Amino acid sequence: MKILSSPAIILKRIEYGDFDLIITFFTLNYGKITAMAKYAKKSKKRFASVLEPFGELNIVTTSGRNKGLLILTEVCLSHSFMEIKKNILKTAYASYWAEIINKSVESSVIEKQLYILFYKLLDMIDKNLISETAANIIFQIRFANISGIKPQLEKCCKCKSEINRIKGEKLFFDIEKGSVICENCNSGNKKNIPLFKGTVKQLLWVQDKEIEKVLKMKFTEYCLQQATNLMEHFIGYYVGKEFNSLKFLKEVG
């Protein structure tokens, strides 16, 4: 019998029959895995009500009789993230990040960098060390880096001018090309997303600097607005999925 043991964060829970839950976990050691929590619905004692988003758990699973199906045998809470649980806006952001991970990563592919990013940002919003909007931009940009869908922000995709050499403050972003485009090259294309040069520079910083520096940075108000709009479009387009939690976020945000 194969035993797996790892820190884990719940991405999704589905009720199964009258007694059981099927839970998708994002684990540090094994990536995304799905396991059945038998009698979790029926008996609160068995898993002591810890099987709720978004605390960090330590879980142990074994392989069941059906090949491939994992059975949750032990679970203990290591970080409860109570402030997220109590606050609907924080819950909405955490749900959006969980859905991005759930819909983009393959099962059983180890994603340690992404796990650490997710954990770190949950911890930061739980402790009110960062605004949820800033955390959301950082999550999406760094997720894009890790997933190999990094937006091109250094230069215009058409004339190849570096953004520092482009005159004026107005730039655009072409989602299909995944790149910044200068005002000249954009030539009135209304589909592209407007961005100030200052926003692009802040996003470049988020892309490339060490995470500890990025987490301390102060975003300007217009950067927060433009970057939120850009990254939500970008992630939707490149992950190629609709996110129900994003609709929820817009309702409560």
Residues forming contacts to Zn ion in the complex (CB under 5 A) are 156, 158-159, 182, 185
Q: Which helix (H) or strand (E) holds 177?
A: none
Phi first, then psi: give them for residue 190, nearest 5 degrees.
Answer: -80, -15
Q: Which helix (H) or strand (E) holds 189?
A: none
The distance of closest approach from Cβ of residue 151 to Zn ion in the complex, given in angstroms and rounded to an integer, is 16
70-79/31-37 β-pairing: parallel
The distance of closest approach from Cβ of residue 131 to Zn ion in the complex, given in angstroms and rounded to an integer, is 33
Q: Which is nearer to Zn ion, 158 or 197 (CB)?
A: 158
Nearest one of 161, 183, 181 to 170, comparing CA atoms: 183
Q: Which helix (H) or strand (E) holds 132?
A: helix 132-146
The distance of closest approach from Cβ of residue 161 to Zn ion in the complex, given in angstroms and rounded to an integer, is 5
Q: Which is nearer to Zn ion, 115 or 172 (CB)?
A: 172
> Can you tell me whether residue 65 is helix, strand or coil?
coil
Q: Which is nearer to Zn ion, 157 or 215 (CB)?
A: 157
The distance of closest approach from Cβ of residue 22 to Zn ion in the complex, given in angstroms and rounded to an integer, is 50
Decide if 200 contacts 108 (C-beta within 8 A).
no
Nearest one of 147, 170, 131 to 234, comparing CA atoms: 147
The distance of closest approach from Cβ of residue 169 to Zn ion in the complex, given in angstroms and rounded to an integer, is 15
CA 103 to chain centre: 10
Write the single-letter amino acid at 52: E
Q: Which is nearer to Zn ion, 109 or 159 (CB)?
A: 159
Q: Which is nearer to Zn ion, 48 or 159 (CB)?
A: 159
Q: Which is nearer to Zn ion, 103 or 158 (CB)?
A: 158
Nearest one of 87, 70, 91 to 22, comparing CA atoms: 70
The distance of closest approach from Cβ of residue 172 to Zn ion in the complex, given in angstroms and rounded to an integer, is 10
